[in-house]
Chains A and B, each alone.
Chain A
Amino acid sequence: MSAVLNASHTPPPPAAPLHQVSPGLWQLAWRRLKRDKVGIVSLVVVIFFLLMMVGSYTGLVAKNWSKEVGVSYANPSFMAGAENLEAVRTKADANAPKIEPVDLSDIDPLAPRYAEWAERTAKIKTTEVKRAESLAFGGDKWGRDVLQKAIKGAETSIFVGLFAALFATIIGTTLGAISGYMGGKVGDLLEWFYNIFTSIPYILLILAFAAVFASSPQLAAYKGVPMVVAILAFTGWTGIYRLVRSEYIKHASREYVKAAQAIGASDSRRMFVHILPNVSHVCLVQLSQHVVQFIKAEVILSYLGLGVPVDSVSWGTMLAEAQSELVIGKWWQLAAAGISMAILVTAFSMLTDSLRDALDPKIK
């Protein structure tokens, strides 16, 4: 729909590579990346987070994040002595005044087995766990360790970011490739689709997709984290589609593609075997940009209550929870989720920059 520009603003792609050149692109890129200190530091940080994610996924760290080990809003250990009114209030719970309980035995379907029930009850013992007054970086309202929550939340958020970005890239690349390469009727159809998606306000699109997923029984099995991934991927592929499409339009007329056609390579082979490697750097940069974007979008989804389900935790749900905690002086959950997210996202963005620089041979 937009005017086609003679002068492209995106940097031109690498000079038409011949078949054996493409591995060289990646090697060169790696060499360039290695020289980039910021890039390497970012890479290390990102790898650290990924390892942490694997660790928490396999249960090596933060396995007990959901255990209620402390009192409600336990103080962080560095302010252990501070007054914690919330915890005091929770403990001060006065027992209900003892009134004679109503007798149900004349109407209760369970009445015939009252004696057996009481007998079994007597045999079951429950133990009260002692709760800590302070935790490493404080506790949340249930008394769970905020630090462990942040680690576990990182796992979910990164997972959501990575996979949503991966799926969005796959959708965007596939559709973009088809549209750019094929053109014609198919291209028009996909362009139509693209225009529809970009014309609807993002927030409405998200709410609509969330409603589809939440109320469709066929999709019930995929509720939870996969649902969040799907919502983000289905609403977030358009940017990638656009870029990939324009790359394919450029490449489709290149000589190497024509050569491939001459030796009888099929359309799909030309699209995905010949052209794809030459635009993969665009996809890679887009992928890592979208990881960042989706990690942030997950926060908004959680704010709307459409985030991950209650038995898991993400940075977004932590922030949504912490919304009202700042005013009552319990800033640690906001800080833990906010800061850890900031570190990862910063590192990831810088890595993306370095990647782009490394993959773009024009910039010295």
Chain B
Amino acid sequence: MNLNIPTLNCAKRAIAALALVWASIFLATVAQAGDLKTLKIAFRNAETGFDPQRIEDRYSVGIIENFFDTLVTYDWLARPAKLVPLAAEKVPEGEEGGTRFTFRIKPGILFADDPAFKGKKRELVARDMEYAIKRFRDPANRSPYAWLFIDRIVGFDEYVEAAKKANKYDYEKSIPGVQVLDKYTISFKLKQADYNFLYFFAMPIVVPVAREVIEAYASDTMAHPVGTGPYILKQWTRRSKIVLERNTNYRGHQLDTQYANPNDPFDQAAIKALAGKTLPLIDRIEISPIEEEQPRFLAFMNLEHDYIEETPPNFVSQLLSLGKLSPAMVKRNVHVQRTEEPEITWDAFNMEDKIVGGYKPENVAFRRALVLAHDRASEINIIRKGQAIATKSAIPPGAVGYDPDFYAVDEEYDLSRAKALLDLYGYVDKDGDGWRDMPDGSPIVLTFKHRAEMEGRQIAELWVKSMAAIGIRMQTTAVQFADLLRDRKVGKFQMSNLSWTADYPDGQNFLQLLYGPNIDESNDARFKLPEYDRLYSQALKLPDGPARNKIYREMNRLIVAYAPWRLGVNRIFSHFINPWVLGYKRHPILYTAFKYLDIDTAAQQAAQQQ
């Protein structure tokens, strides 16, 4: 960090004068922040918009958490995640064998004021939820989360089909499986038992919206989020600045401490800062999306931002090396929280490919050898800078159904075993060119498709090296994100690196990635194993419990044995928080923490003026 800059004597004075000018502007801007409790942070990526039923990227969804109230949500401190009521009075139990769920909305919850309400206060009612559910499958919305409600609710598919025929999506018509029982009560009837259905109502995109607002801003709903949450969208310069301010109609909430862990310093700090207070406490939040790593990191270092979440792995060791905060950070009294999030990465084999696909023992042996030869420790240590742990099964820690005792040696790097397996099944060098060939003598050239950015490139680089070590030739193709997506969905790839972040914290959300009927939808590896599919359908009908966990374990064994994936890593994220930010705790599913934060404004300003 110590870089000596040779300064020419003659230039010194001019530079000093310049510096003075900038310094004065600096101070002026700091003073401007004034009396509002203001939080400034960066996002890793640009947002797309704020219409709950039209978005899916984490960053936009993270922001609308603050505009809208879900019916149920996750307790802020409970780990693993636990559902608690939010706009609903209580978390419903599954009735009729897990096929019916009835929510009763708390009376008296108000929407934020908006011209669309024509000056009247507007109360949240069950119809708003019904309207939002219908919006998911309105063709005009092309909702990325339409799949949540496809082939699930009784009568919904028929409703959509009829709308298609009539060429009019009729919001007045009702759906048999979505019943509004009274002003505040809504009940859903499912085609078959699905205990994960409840989790949908904790997703920040499955939130009630006011029909008059949507219709008033029909052409630009993305810019007009009007909800019942603690904040409103005050100002929005797309891809540059998002400003949130308090919703004056908001009823206030409190930190629930019943699930707090007495041994967790973050829980204790949060309780100390927030317990008993009416939240939210922060008046204004300014978010800047910064895509490049270096400026995002440097902006935190320069105190331009109050905390940095998901610090770029390349820079973590600057602040935290071998588990210890660097002296500079200790001096600044910065805290760090490290979290594993419910997400996994993996390298998929295309199961329909002539070389890497197939279910015959020799096909399986080939894939298993590649898995054994892939140097995952280097991916963790060098590419991800130690900010990850090896994934043991398809269900990540933090998701319901995670099995800490699941450990397969067949996912562990072992060159000798890999080579022995290839030799055993006849994948040896037949034409003497130094590279292994297929048992029938045809040459092997694998192709790894990756995203045209640094991380994708490095992952591909590691694969090429790992394969060379066992005598297998591999090429790489870099493609833009959109192209890669297309190629993967239609099976136009041989191997590729993928990742998945939980929509809801249940193992099923991950296991569906290999479910046969999901080919062309989310099963990019195009894996189709009757035994696996049978277990999957069986697990769907069961509530969380040992019986279902046993099935999940079976499925994980099949994944290891047939190796449609090389299991990758669970990333560990480091979040660095300046000392004046009080009560910070990162949640595994919810993306933003604004409504559970406080700021010591005096300390903030003192630090920035230094």
Contacts and interface: CB of A to CB of B under 8 A. Distances in A.
Interface of A: 66, 72, 85-86, 88-90, 92-93, 96, 99-102, 104, 107-110, 112-113, 116-117, 120-126, 141-142, 207, 210-211, 214-215, 223-224, 304-306, 309-311, 320-321, 323-325, 327-329
A329 B478 contact: no
B561 interface: yes
B464 A310 contact: yes
Given A104-B557, A328-B317, 4 more contacts: A89-B322, A100-B405, A104-B560, A107-B557
Q: In this complex, which of A89, A125, A305, A323 has the most chain B Cβ atoms within 10 angstroms of its Cβ? A: A305
Nearest to A66: B465
B64 interface: no
Interface string B160-190: 0000000000000000000000000000000
Contacts of B365: 109-110
Given A110-B368, A223-B477, A310 B457 contact: yes
Interface size class of chain B, counting residues whose CB lies under 8 Å from the partner chain: 35 or more
24 contacts: A85-B322, A86-B385, A92-B322, A93-B377, A102-B557, A102-B560, A104-B408, A104-B410, A117-B424, A121-B414, A121-B420, A126-B415, A126-B416, A141-B382, A215-B479, A215-B483, A223-B475, A305-B451, A306-B478, A310-B457, A324-B314, A327-B315, A328-B317, A328-B318
A328 B561 contact: no
Nearest to A112: B361
B129 interface: no
Interface of B: 1, 293-294, 297-298, 312, 314-315, 317-318, 321-322, 359-361, 364-365, 368, 377-378, 380-383, 385-386, 390, 405-410, 414-417, 419-421, 423-424, 451-454, 456-457, 460-461, 464-465, 475-480, 483, 487, 531, 553, 556-558, 560-562
A72 to B, nearest CB: 6
A41 B457 CA distance: 38
Contacts of A324: 293-294, 312, 314-315
A210 B480 CA distance: 9
Given A101-B407, A109-B359, A324-B312, A211 B424 contact: no
Given A85-B317, A311-B464, A215 B487 contact: yes
Contacts of B321: 85, 88-89
B470 to A, nearest CB: 10
Given A85-B317, A90-B382, A327-B294, A305 B478 contact: yes
Nearest to A95: B377
Contact of A72 (B1, B381, B557): B381
B451 A327 contact: no
A135 B558 CA distance: 46
A184 B497 CA distance: 53
A124 B419 CA distance: 8
Contacts of A329: 1
Contacts of B294: 323-324, 327
B424 A102 contact: no
A215 B321 CA distance: 42
B562 A109 contact: yes
